[in-house]
Amino acid sequence: MVSDHLYHQQSQSKNVCVIGAGPSGLVAAREIRKEGHTVVVLEQNHDVGGQWLYDPNVEKEDPLGKKNKFLKVHSSIYASLRLISPREIMGFTDFPFLVKKDRDMRRFPGHEELWYYLNDFCEWFGLREMIRFNTRVEYVGMLDYAYGNNGSPTDVMNIKWVVKSKEKKADKVVEEVFDAVVVATGHYSYPRLPSIKGMDTWKRKQMHSHIYRVPEPFRNEVVVVVGNSLSGQDISMELVEVAKEVHLSAKSLNISEGLSKVVSKHQNLHLHPQIEYLGEDGKATFIDGSLVIADTILYCTGYSYSFPFLDTKGIVVIDDDRVGPLYEHTFPPSLAPSLSFVGIPRKLIGFPFFESQAKWIAQLLSGKKTLPSWDEMMLSVKEFYHSKDASAIPKHYTHDIANFEYCDKYADHIGFPHLEEWRKGLCLSALMNADVNLETYRDCWDEHDHELLQQALQSPHFTQLQPQV
């Protein structure tokens, strides 16, 4: 174990609560402690890993995940899931995701291997001692908060946070006060559902991919899979092996070369446009007039942000999956830096980005760095929203980054190194390969990818920083 928390230069030490022990929460805890703060991580599950702690259980009584304020099951990972990006690009900057003997040594390993990596990360840096497991946060609110004339806080640094949590099996709610709260609760658990006529009266099975685990329950069924992004494609590809028919309903029929190859290869896989309505008699009618009699509708339609425990008196709101206002997807200007979010952005190389967020939060809390003024942060958020509106990007894509320059610009705030060129290259080449060779991209790659892989393995990330034995 490396006790890197001993190396900090003591400045202003805060008492910080990190909510969640997934990748974001773990790296946040590490960085914030390293900066000299006291950290408690509250985690509702029995172990670390977040999404990567596979859970064979599902929400049985609520297959669409509509009813519960707090979900019973966090992870949406299915049994066969393999990473969509190669392992080399996934590691935190000083903890490479190495191939280990007697483990899943593939470049795109199964989900369990990433859980092992996170476990190794915890052990190496002694993170477990900060975590209280089986402890669900049920309420986070401000203890004292005074507004200035323009709605900005008068004394942000002195806001205190009340955190109420409940340990599983114990009937007692524990109330604690912290100087700062870091929300790292993830956003791949609460189903985002389409609104389809007849959905509420559908008598047969319907469920969201949040509760999909294995294909066997769909043996000999006619299944309509709604949504053809990553999960929709993956799940359809394994369902065709057991189901009688799989009907993949996509927003656009302009699909990737890789997916059309898969469709033409399997006689029981059919592509359709969006569903127009669902009839009580099991009929799913598509907008082109075609219809099928289906046993199950499986919504692979993505996930929504949800913070059912968070009470900011309306300062941070979720509007059609836009969590805001958040300066740089991390800090609500009126409450920063005592309230922050790690892991909100999507469509980027997650782990190193979460790490840069964590470092920024840690340095702001210790006073080593300062944020721009409230006016400047609000203006930046406004301009960002305006740029999205001007490009006709729907609100629910607010936190989709898909842009390496943004990650580099973000890193500049704290002098964090830019993403290595090989990380960017390997990420892009995996995406392109998946686009063309959907069924095989995790196991076969071209010469260009191979060269990038050699660059990666010879880079300091792998050669100089290898802390693992």
Amino acid, res. 300 = C
Site string for ligand FAD, 342-371 (x = CB under 6 A): -x------x---------------------
Q: Which two tokens stand for residue 135?
A: 């402890």
* β-bridge pairing 135-142 and 161-167: antiparallel
Q: Which is nearer to ligand FAD, 186 or 324 (CB)?
A: 186
Q: How far is the CB of 183 from ligand FAD (least distance, A)?
A: 9
20 scored as a contact of ligand FAD (CB under 6 A): yes
Report 256-295 residues binding ligand FAD (CB under 6 A). none
Choose the stretch contacting ligand FAD; rule: CB under 6 A; options: 119-127, 179-187, 194-202, 447-455.
179-187
Subset of residues 110 to 139 that bind ligand FAD, contact rule: CB under 6 A: 136-137
Torsion 279-282-287-291 (CA) sign? negative
Is 76 a binder of ligand FAD (CB under 6 A)?
Answer: yes
Task: Collect all residues with Cβ–Cβ distance below 8 Å to 63 and sequence separation of at least 6.
Answer: 205, 206, 207, 208, 211
65 binds ligand FAD (CB under 6 A): no
Does 433 interact with ligand FAD (rule: CB under 6 A)? no
Residues 6+ apart with CB under 8 A from 175: 162, 163, 164
Q: In what order do the strands lie in the sheet with 135-142?
A: 173-178, 161-167, 135-142, 310-311
Residues 193-232 that bind ligand FAD (CB under 6 A): 231
Task: Tell me whether residue 44 or residue 249 sits nearer to ligand FAD (CB atom).
Answer: 44
Q: What's the min distance (Å) between Cβ of 310 and ligand FAD?
A: 9
Do residues 163 and 181 touch, judged by C-beta distance below 8 A? Answer: yes
Residue 44, interface with ligand FAD (CB under 6 A)? yes
Token look-up 């995790």 returns 442
Instruction: Mark the segment that binds ligand FAD (CB under 6 A) among 43-51, 55-63, 238-246, 388-396.
Output: 43-51
List of residues 6+ apart from 335 with CB closer than 8 A: 142, 153, 156, 159, 312, 315, 316
> Which of 17, 30, 45, 117: binder of ligand FAD (CB under 6 A)?
45
CA distance 121 to 30: 10
Task: Measure Cα distances from 73 to 65, 76, 77, 208, 406 in Å.
Answer: 10, 8, 11, 13, 33
The answer to whether 109 touches 368, Cβ cutoff 8 Å, is no
| Least separation in angstroms between CB 262 and ligand FAD | 18
109 binds ligand FAD (CB under 6 A): no
Query: Does 51 help bind ligand FAD (rule: CB under 6 A)?
Result: yes
| Residue from the set 42, 315, 381, 419 that interacts with ligand FAD by CB under 6 A | 42
E strands of 8-156, at which residues?
15-19, 38-42, 131-132, 135-142
Nearer to ligand FAD, 117 or 188 (CB): 188
d(CA 358, CA 8): 15
Decide whether 231 or 340 has the Cβ nearer to ligand FAD: 231
Q: Which of 186, 215, 324, 325 is the binder for ligand FAD (CB under 6 A)?
A: 186
Q: Which of 45, 296 has the CB closer to ligand FAD? A: 45
Q: Interface with ligand FAD includes 309 (CB under 6 A)?
A: yes
Cα–Cα–Cα angle for 32, 35, 37, nearest 5°? 65
Q: How far is the CB of 100 from ligand FAD (least distance, A)?
A: 19
Does the N-terminal peptide bond of residue 325 adopt cis geometry, omega within 30 degrees of 0?
Answer: yes
Stretch that binds ligand FAD, among 70-78, 153-161, 256-264, 356-364 (CB under 6 A): 70-78
DSSP lists the bridge partners of residue 135 as 167
Q: Which is nearer to ligand FAD, 23 or 258 (CB)?
A: 23
Q: Which stretch in 73-81, 141-149, 197-205, 278-286 sits in contact with ligand FAD by CB under 6 A?
A: 73-81
Q: Please tell me whether residue 429 binds ligand FAD under the rule CB under 6 A.
A: no
Beta strand segments in 289-389, E: 291-293, 296-299, 303-304, 310-311, 317-319, 322-324, 339-341
Minimum Å gap between C-beta 344 and ligand FAD is 8
Question: Measured at the alpha carbon of residue 431, what is the angle toward residues 428 and 433, in degrees to the nearest 5?
Answer: 105
Under rule CB under 6 A, residue 438 binds ligand FAD? no
332 counts as binding ligand FAD under rule CB under 6 A = no
Which residues of this protein are in contact with ligand FAD, per CB under 6 A? Answer: 19-25, 42-45, 50-52, 74, 76-77, 81, 83-85, 136-137, 184-186, 188, 231, 309, 343, 350
